[in-house]
Chain A
Amino acid sequence: MKIVIIDYGAGNIKSIQFAFKRLGFEAVLSNDPDEIKAADKIIFPGVGEASSAMKMLRKSKLDVLIPTLTQPVLGICLGMQLLCKTTAEGNAEGLGVFDVHVKRFNTRVKVPQMGWNTISDLKSDLFKNINNKSYMYLVHSYYAEHCNEAIATTDYDVVYASALQKNNFYGVQFHPEKSSDAGEQLLKNFTEL
């Protein structure tokens, strides 16, 4: 199986590569459209700021390519947020795969949300053998609103969509590569989709 991690200069991808390596898969980094299109599974990572990440995607024309992909794509953290319609972070337009807006947490709670929180209302094979209310590791200041495309929810200030799915596109707000056994199970499930 060929797993490609989309490389557009955003953040730390080493941990994702290592997580797949622990599962016995090699995940290669690439920004080459042909290599990305030929992959069996695609990871769309992201750490950092949304509007500058969108700029990097446009510069490499990956913003056009990504929504046309037909194989399973997993957006992680900012990667998931960039697959949404818009984000309040830097007032950026997203790739529009998910029909949902990304908002900032209210300052009634500490921002960023940092640490382990539970996922509930699990609705996809992505969560096979993962218990409801499993803890996942999250670090974020912005969240996708609860919507029809939510396949998991988390409660922090509000109940929001901590995972999304539309057709072959999946997104998780948490970091499966850093979420201990439950996270590893999720990555394993993704390889089996």
Chain B
Amino acid sequence: MLAKRIIPCLDIKNGRTVKGVNFVGLRDAGDPVSLAKKYAALGADELVLLDISATLEGRKTMLDMVLKVAEQVNIPFTVGGGISSIEDVDALLKSGADKVSINSSAIKRPELINELANKFGNQCITVAIDAKQIDGSWIVHVAGGSIPTTLDLFSWAKEAEERGAGEILFTSMNNDGTKNGFANEALSKLSTTLNIPIIASGGAGNMAHFVDAFHVGKADAALAASVFHFGEIEIKDLKQELKDNNIEVRL
């Protein structure tokens, strides 16, 4: 049976993992390459490397880093952040990335999804969607969640699928950072109305939240950052817990 995936996410700025820098008092979350290697050895099923560098130089550093991760890590990884053209994707895949994740650029120009899927195959195009529930509707946001659009989560996700997305990475802004669990109701609706895999993101605080994301949210994969970076949840323990709850995992 196809296993449910556990995906640690590394936010990377100018070549360093930065998520939660303040949380541990200026000690950053580490060198992305060694962190990626560590997670692969601990049983992560996949990794997401999110480039949050704002400068061109930071982006170049990212390409070098992708190459190093590909060289040392024997599980698949997705690279996201600032990708807006065929050339961007080509460079990342040639450096060894398995998939890319696009977000704002796809909303700005939805045809980008078709172009990338046609050129590289839909299996390597993940469309990331940040959405916030406002008065009962899930509104898609761009620019790291700072700007609301007029798009509805479910119709945009469906459009992305029809245009050739191979997977949807859905982050609930209501849940992100709360550690109160994933947005299971919205996840479940996405997972049952779309026919491509859905990655749950935003809200992981304990192992039961992951169980719920799979049982209630019907997610195909679950992504988290800080709970893994700061050792609050060990991937091996998490997978055992999932298995004990009759969820298929690779142990």
Contact = CB atoms under 8 A, between A and B. Distances in A.
Interface of A: 11-12, 14-15, 18-19, 21-22, 47-49, 107, 110-118, 135, 137, 139-141, 155-156, 175, 177-181, 183-184
Given A48-B121, A177-B74, A180-B40, A156 B196 contact: no
A180 B76 CA distance: 9
Contacts of B95: 14
Nearest to B120: A48
Q: Which has the most chain B C-beta neighbours within 10 Å: A14, A19, A107, A113?
A: A14
A53 to B, nearest CB: 10
A47 B221 contact: no
Contacts of B56: none
Contact of B124 (A14, A22, A47): A47
Interface of B: 1-5, 40, 45-46, 67, 70-72, 74-76, 93-98, 118, 120-124, 166-167, 195-197, 220-221, 250
Given A47-B124, A141-B123, A156-B2, A178 B74 contact: yes
Contacts of A22: 72, 74
A110 B45 CA distance: 18
Contacts of B250: 116, 135
B120 to A, nearest CB: 7
Given A47-B121, A140-B123, A184 B45 contact: no
Contacts, number: 96
A27 to B, nearest CB: 13
A118 B12 CA distance: 32
B121 A137 contact: no
Given A15-B96, A110-B195, 11 more contacts: A12-B94, A12-B97, A14-B94, A15-B70, A22-B74, A107-B195, A112-B197, A114-B166, A139-B166, A177-B74, A178-B74
Contacts of B195: 107, 110-111
Contacts of A156: 2
Given A15-B70, A137-B76, A115 B2 contact: yes
Given A107-B195, A111-B195, A117 B74 contact: no
Given A12-B93, A180-B75, A116 B197 contact: no
Given A48-B121, A111-B196, A140-B123, A117 B98 contact: no
Nearest to A22: B74
A99 to B, nearest CB: 26
B166 A112 contact: yes
A68 B75 CA distance: 33
21 contacts: A11-B120, A12-B98, A14-B96, A15-B96, A18-B96, A47-B121, A110-B195, A110-B220, A112-B197, A115-B220, A116-B2, A116-B3, A116-B5, A117-B1, A137-B76, A139-B123, A139-B166, A140-B123, A178-B98, A179-B75, A181-B74
B193 to A, nearest CB: 12
Given A12-B94, A48-B120, A135-B250, A110 B197 contact: yes
Given A110-B197, A178-B74, A117 B123 contact: no
